Amino acid sequence: MLSHPAEKYRPYPPIALPDRRWPDRQISHAPRWLSTDLRDGNQALAEPMDSAANCSSGICCWSAALKRLKSPSLPPHKPISTLSAS
């Protein structure tokens, strides 16, 4: 993660268009919001895990999912025999 996120934004060279106002403007500071990485998984973390930590967290997730599937407290799935158009 960047220690100074404002350094991410550099001034862009202005374009000479005298009939317009916006090309003369330059970014002087970072906006109030910062971009967010919307990717899934390890790539989206500010400090990505090493392969050992990533593997152990994956194993932990799989074991939790298997425990949930094997849990007797969940009611069995009942198939829907007829569909109603209501």
What value does the CA radius of gyration of the chain take, rounded to a whole number of Å?
26
- Locate 77 and state its tokens: 């799935």
Name the more confident of 39 and 16: 16
What's the sign of the alpha-carbon dihedral 53, 55, 58, 62? negative
| 78 lies in some domain | no
The label of the residue with tokens 């090493």 reads 50
| 15 lies in some domain | yes
Number of domains making up the chain: 1
pLDDT tens by residue, 62-84? 777 777 777 766 666 666 666 55
| 22 lies in some domain | yes
Q: What is the pLDDT of residue 4?
A: 74
| 4 lies in some domain | yes
Q: Which domain holds residue 6?
A: 1-35
| 24 lies in some domain | yes
Instruction: Tell if the pTM clears 0.85, that is, is over it.
Output: no
